[in-house]
Amino acid sequence: MKCPCCGSENFKELMTTAGVLVDYCEKCNGVWLDKGEIFYFSSSPTYVKFKIENALKESSPSKRINPKTGKKLLLIKLGDIEVDIDGEDGGMFFDKGELERIPGSKNLGFNIKFESKINNNVMNNKDIKDKSKAQDDWQSMYGKKANSTKKRRYKAFLKPLPNLALVSINTVVMLYALLGLIFITLVEFEVLSNDFAFFIFVVIAFVQFVISSFIMDLMLRFFYKVNWLVKAELPENTAKFIEKVCKMNNMKFPKIGVIPDGSPNAFTYGHTPNNARIIITNGMFKLLGEEELNGVIAHEIGHAVHWDMLLMTIAKIVPMFMYYIYRTVIRVKTKGKDNMPKLLIAAFAYLLYILSEYVVLWFSRVREYYADRFAGKYVSPNSLSQALVKIGYGLAGKKEDKNDKNKRNPALEGISTMGIFDAKAAKSFAISSFSSHAESMGDNLDKNDIKGAMRWDLWNPWAGFYEISSTHPLIAKRIDALSRQSIVQGEEPYIEFDERKPESYWDEFFIDMFIGYLPEILIFVMMIIAFGTYYMERTAFDIFHLKGVFVIYGLAIMIRTWFSYKSDMFPEMNVSSLLKIVKVSGIRGVPVTIKGKIIGRGIPGYIFSEDFIIQDQTGIIFLDYKQPLRIFEFFFAILRAGDFSGQDVTITGWFRRAPVPYIEILNLKSSFQNLNCYVYWFKLFWGVLCIIGGILACIM
């Protein structure tokens, strides 16, 4: 980036107190704000938007250019200052001191302070020490400074992973020890006989293991229209790569299935390495380069080589049994008997069920790291990292264009998280109607955009919270592990994330957590007060306390809704700018408007998915279509969702990360239709209804 003012390339991304990254010129102290970012620094964004829109009507050409696109900027007058703005993408450049002079900024409370202290390009002693420490840490970790070349004369090291065989054995033994413990408990309390307990344990486990792959085959055939291919039907280079990797690992050529869908997605299932099925979508061939595609396929082969399908199937049986036991025991009728043993067993089974679920998730994340490392032996780890960025973050790269090197390639496709990522946490992305002549994403990805997306994974406490419940590690952690592997193998790391976190972000995390569970917390407190008064004072039970619960619950619902669905202003932004916002979560939504094209919907090839994917010039992001009742989403999916494929739309909603970024739709506008989602209004209505109901109950 070249500064529009001084022409220097000393732009630096700085984190602001609003949790949004901005581009700062260290030479002239100018600030570049991407589209819509200015509205996150004002307590009255509607007023600021009004002033900018009026000023644009009387704009004049500027001599300055957009530092990101190279296009000419416009000059607009805001009060007593002149500001440079891109009339198309909305980016704005402010010279030193101009932000503080925007009309109304003094009264409206503009807040664009930087977390990192900068004073005339001179770092204070603390900054110098921190920077030196970061370089020393990198050197101690990798053996050389971050800006070193590919020719390395040192021995770098990989972050050690636990022994895979030992972890597998210990995990499976521990899980089945927990399962055996609950069966022993059932036998000791005479809920089951010894023989019957053993029969249930063996038979159900065996049946579940045998039929799992068969059921998956049927689902893929009928719901996803998978096409099974022989080796000769695959692209020649892809077939040769698979054959080479399988031969080196004494494994038969796997059964390859292709889902006719534009989403880049792949996953593996089966029983043994020689019984593995690898499923690939058409999007993998269209959206990824050859080396990137090989990296993803090698990752899936790694799962087969490590017997992950068998071991994960065996491990997943344990939580299933625990939950089955819990549901069975809780339903057992014990007339004339003490119910306490039954309740204790049920509670014990449920606790073991929760514990075993988290053990299985941890087990899965470890195996993902091993699959990545396996793939990095057969392709460059950087190729797999780039595939993860394209698929997981949805960032677009640039295509080389001889006629216009600054032109950004908008030919983007889809992203998915079904196989290479956690389908449960990230949902699944698909492009069921994308054209067959689509080209791959550009390889020249903006490293600053990638770092911006990684910051949330590595800095926000919510990322770690979500990862605990995920089958896959966070993308940033996987990229970091692959970068380490690149160095060991004599390559430059794909990303050197050596930035210092400006603040802890734990205060936002605890606020989000408190607000998110506020209704439940207040209900619990009210119930404790009501029953505590009854038992301690030994007076007649005061039903007024229970009636008051409805009022408190309604107020809490409204507070949570107002916090999570901020609606004062929905500034227009793009995908890459959204990914740089750190202070965002599933509860803390960021209001946004985004324009682009609907290029797909829901789960790959699945006709009952109501969600969408939108593409703009900077990337792709998932759109979450929600209604108060699921039945409305179902009918929308089968009757109307397909009509939006390929349509240019404007989306108004709330940007969230949980942990994958997505936008919850409030309004969707196209050339032929205007759709609204009513979850926000329904939650407010429900809160008001509870308050009114509680008040009426109290006075009657």
For 547-557, write each residue's pLDDT tens digit.
Answer: 677 888 889 99
Q: Where are the alpha helices (DSSP H) in 143-235?
A: 164-188, 194-223
Sign of CA dihedral 17, 19, 25, 26: positive
Is the pLDDT score of 249 beyond 70?
Answer: yes
pLDDT score of 660: 81
**Torsion angle in degrees (nearest 10) through CA of 606, 607, 609, 611:** 100
Helix orientation angle between 447-459 and 475-488, rounded to the nearest 10 degrees? 120
d(CA 231, CA 240) in angstroms, rounded, equals 9
Give the CA distances from residue 407 to residues 93, 404, 698, in Å, rounded to whole numbers and listed in that order. Answer: 21, 5, 66
Question: What is residue 99's three-state secondary structure?
Answer: helix
Please report, as a single letter, which amino acid is at residue 475. Answer: I
Please report, as a single letter, which amino acid is at residue 334. Answer: T
pLDDT score of 653: 95
d(CA 424, CA 418) in angstroms, rounded, equals 8
The phi, psi pair for 206, rounded to 5°, reads -65, -45
Token pair listed for 65:
């250019």
Question: What is residue 655's three-state secondary structure?
Answer: strand
478 half-sphere exposure, CB direction, 13 A CA radius: 31
Segments of 80-125 assigned E as strands: 81-85, 92-94
Token pair listed for 116:
């990192």
Token pair listed for 313:
């199937």
| Kind and range of the H or E run holding 649 | strand 648-657
Question: What is residue 15's three-state secondary structure?
Answer: strand
Produce one character per residue of 476-498: b if its CB has 16 or more CB atoms within 10 Å, e if not: bbbbbbbbbbbbbeebebbbbbe
pLDDT score of 420: 53
Question: If pLDDT is split at 50, 70 and 90, which confidence band does 387 have?
Answer: confident
User: How many Å from the N-terminal Cα to the C-terminal Cα in the chain?
Assistant: 68
Produce one character per residue of 558-574: b if its CB has 16 or more CB atoms within 10 Å, e if not: bebbebbbeeebbbbbb
Higher pLDDT, residue 11 or 609: 11
| Kind and range of the H or E run holding 559 | helix 543-564
Question: What is residue 654's three-state secondary structure?
Answer: strand
Angle at 30 between CA 27 and CA 33, to 5 degrees: 135
Q: State mean pLDDT over 525-544.
A: 62
Q: State mean pLDDT over 612-625.
A: 83
Single pTM value for the model: 0.69
Domains of the chain listed by start with CATH number: 11-108 (no CATH), 506-581+583-700 (2.40.50.200)
Most confident of 352-356, 528-532, 661-665: 661-665
Is the pLDDT score of 461 beyond 90?
Answer: yes
Higher pLDDT, residue 399 or 567: 567
Token pair listed for 350:
């449920």
Tell me the percentage of the chain whose pLDDT exceeds 70. 70
For the stretch 290-316, pLDDT in tens is 888 899 999 999 999 988 888 887 787
Phi-psi category of residue 602: left, alpha or beta, with phi > 0 → left and psi -120 to 50 → alpha: left
Neighbours of 577 (CB within 10 A): 28
Phi-psi category of residue 586: left, alpha or beta, with phi > 0 → left and psi -120 to 50 → alpha: alpha
- Cα 424 to chain centroid, rounded: 11
Is the pLDDT score of 216 beyond 90?
Answer: no
Is the pLDDT score of 410 beyond 70?
Answer: no
d(CA 300, CA 303) in angstroms, rounded, equals 5
Whether 414 contacts 600, CB under 8 Å = yes
Q: Cβ-count burial of 154 within 10 angstroms (0-12 exposed, 13-18 middle, 19+ buried)?
A: exposed
d(CA 235, CA 244) in angstroms, rounded, equals 14
Question: If pLDDT is split at 50, 70 and 90, which confidence band does 527 have?
Answer: confident
Is the pLDDT score of 320 beyond 60?
Answer: yes
pLDDT score of 209: 63
Token pair listed for 678:
């009513």
pLDDT score of 316: 78
Q: Which residue has the tokens 């494929």?
A: 645
How many angstroms separate the most distant Cα atoms in the chain?
90
